[in-house]
Structure 1
Amino acid sequence: MTAQRRDLKGWHHGIVLIVVVAMAGLPVAGGAATTERVVSDRYTGLAIRGFDPVAYFTEGQPTLGQLDFELSDEGVVWRFCNEGNRLSFAAHPEVYGPQFGGYDPVDVARGVAFAGNPQIWLISEKRLYLFGRAETRDAFAAAPATVLNDARKRWVQLQQQLAR
């Protein structure tokens, strides 16, 4: 083996090591960080993968927000479809933002912070809830009062464990 090939081979192993180390730090749950008080992408800072939280109420479906209509709140970036939605959220983030910071309320009720999926959602009592799995959404829909009672009790403690 020539010296040049030996050097190249060592460089190749270094790249593999870098890739393995980088992959070890990747977030779980579909690219969402699970150590934040509001589910957001650790690389972009986008909350709920860039979906407009107000559109769930106005459009009745998940709708991606636009770069032109952004708002930074609690260290995350929210995107909206239009200026009206951005203004509505700015005035009432507690109403339009996903409850429990976007974590699955069924898992929160169990004391676990599992990031919700913006495409698995439900509005209950005029509040938005995101779920990690369709099964947990269905369980929530069957007994929302019970789940919410347990989730609210556990959420305070769970928030303390999540990064600020």
Structure 2
Amino acid sequence: MKSYVFAAALALMGSPLLAGPQFVDKNDFAVSGYDVVAYRSLDQVPVGQSQPAAIPGRADITAEYNGAVFAFATEKNKKKFLKDPAYYAPQYDGHCAYGVAKGGKVPGNPNLWRIVDDKLYLNITKNVVGFWEEDIPGNLTLSEKNWVSIESNAASTNAIPGFSTPAPLK
């Protein structure tokens, strides 16, 4: 019996126990169809400045992770993602980092991004980015604390204000 319990525990350690429902857009893509691997190749700007636009993925280059379909601009990026999807996927299942800091799930805009401590974070609007960037470490502390209690809640079904998904992804 002990070996069965130990084997089950080992199996669970390799699975994403804490993965909640991923935010997907109206086209059923995670991160609104943008290539999560491509963020790592973009030049990140200092806090207070707008980040470069995200790179759209293609509908014919996809992979599934955390119950959602991720799109990629290249096959090379898809292969990188498949080697370590948790590294590339946005934190909080693609929900707004500041929203999580405030205790809720709202969608993340793929063009309002920042990589902090080698993790990808999204926010919902430019105004929210300003609030989040006023105290990124403090807001991340709040987000991590809140995420434990809201992660299993349903994914946001709200639209991203002022954002249009590129259509169609090619």
Residues 1:131 and 2:115 are matched in the alignment: no
Give the letter aligned to residue 37 of structure 2.
Answer: V
| 2:22 aligned to which of 35, 38, 42 | 38
Tell me if structure 1 keeps the 8 A contact 2:96–2:106. Answer: yes
Q: 1:136 & 1:124 partners in 2: Cα distance?
A: 16
Give the letter aligned to residue 154 of structure 1.
Answer: N
Give the letter aligned to residue 162 of structure 1.
Answer: A
Residues 1:116 and 2:108 are matched in the alignment: yes
Question: Cα offset for 1:50?
Answer: 0.6
Give the letter aligned to residue 37 of structure 1.
Answer: P
Tell me if structure 2 keeps the 8 A contact 1:105–1:131. Answer: yes
Corresponding position of 1:21: none
Question: Cα offset for 1:117?
Answer: 0.8
Residues 1:63 and 2:72 are matched in the alignment: no
The superposition leaves residues 10-67 of structure 1 with CA deviations (integer Å, 9 ceiling, x where unpaired) of xxxxxxxxxxxxxxxxxxxxxxxxxx721102x5321111100111111344011112
| 1:50 aligned to which of 19, 23, 33 | 33
Task: Tell me the matched-pair count.
Answer: 127
Tell me if structure 2 keeps the 8 A contact 1:40–1:49. Answer: yes
Give the letter aligned to residue 63 of structure 1.
Answer: I
TM-score normalised per structure 1: 0.71
Structure 1: unaligned runs, 5 residues or longer:
1-35
Give the letter aligned to residue 48 of structure 1.
Answer: V
Residues 1:77 and 2:77 are matched in the alignment: no
Q: 2:31 & 2:75 partners in 1: Cα distance?
A: 18
Whose Rg is larger? 1
Q: Relative contact order, CA 8 A, sep 6+: which one is greater?
A: 2
Tell me if structure 1 keeps the 8 A contact 2:21–2:67. Answer: no
Tell me if structure 2 keeps the 8 A contact 1:69–1:86. Answer: yes
CA RMSD of aligned residues (A): 1.6
Pick the structure with more helix per residue: 1
Residues 1:146 and 2:127 are matched in the alignment: no
Structure 2: unaligned runs, 5 residues or longer:
1-19, 44-52, 156-170
Give the letter aligned to residue 149 of structure 1.
Answer: T
Question: Cα offset for 1:68?
Answer: 2.5
- What secondary structure sits across from 2:150 in the alignment? helix
